[in-house]
Amino acid sequence: MKKWQKFFLGLLCLIYIFVLSMTIWPQSITAINDFVANIAGNSPINQHALLNVSQLVLLVLTILILLVIIFIPAQKNGILLEKNKQGVLSLSNDGVTSFVNTILSGYGLSNIRVAFKNTKHVNQFDITADSVYQRHVIKQLPQIKQTLTSDIQELLSGIDEKKLKLSIKVDQKSTGSSRKKRSTRVV
């Protein structure tokens, strides 16, 4: 789970705890309100209005979270090949990623990173790689993308007829040896 997700869920839990505690123990609101009024010298806050507003905010947050859960597509763990009485046969996302890595390794690319999202309607590949000969590889990029698309469609032919999205980025590999540490080997 990412940090922003943890922060959001933690904040949401604190809001739920605050609103539920106000609903269960309304005397605590009275005590806190009187304490704040004595210190600040202000008039007390209307407890019922505060409780109604906080419950309304909680309801709106819950509805927004429900909509996010409903409309964000779920990512699948693999591509279903066969399902029968004996069990399920599927091609994992790691297998598809390894297949793409194998195909791209023959084009002079190194440090290939493949991010694969497998949802109900789309198979999306975000590929980044390094290359010493960046200009040459960039000229070949449309051909590489076409070959990769046809190879993936051939791999999934008859099995998975989803839309296929490919994004390939080539970065130039650093060849400077000034920062490399030299190690000595004693035989």
Question: Domain containing 29: what range?
Answer: 3-71
Q: Identify the pLDDT of residue 4.
A: 79
Tokens of 76: 């699948």
* CATH code, 115: 3.30.70.1350
Mean pLDDT, residues 143-170 taken together = 83
**Same structural domain, 67 and 82:** no
Q: Identify the pLDDT of residue 173.
A: 54
Last residue of a domain, one of 71, 97, 128: 71
Q: Say how many CA atoms lie within 13 Å of 19 toward its Cβ.
A: 18
- Spatial distance between the Cα atoms of 81 and 156, rounded to a whole number of angstroms: 9
Last residue of a domain, one of 21, 44, 71: 71
Pick from 157, 25, 139, 142: which is nearest to 91 by CA?
157
**Same structural domain, 63 and 104:** no
- The answer as to whether 179 is a domain residue is no
Q: Identify the pLDDT of residue 43.
A: 65
Rounded to the nearest angstrom, the gap between the alpha carbon of residue 83 and the centroid of all alpha carbons in its chain is 28
Chain mean pLDDT for the chain: 77
Answer yes or no: pTM beyond 0.75.
no
pLDDT tens for each residue of 106-151: 777 888 888 888 888 888 888 888 877 777 778 888 888 898 888 8
Of the listed ranges 14-18, 79-83, 125-129, 153-157, the least confidently predicted one is 79-83
96 contacts 79 by C-beta, under 8 angstroms: yes
Number of domains making up the chain: 2
Tokens of 51: 């409780």
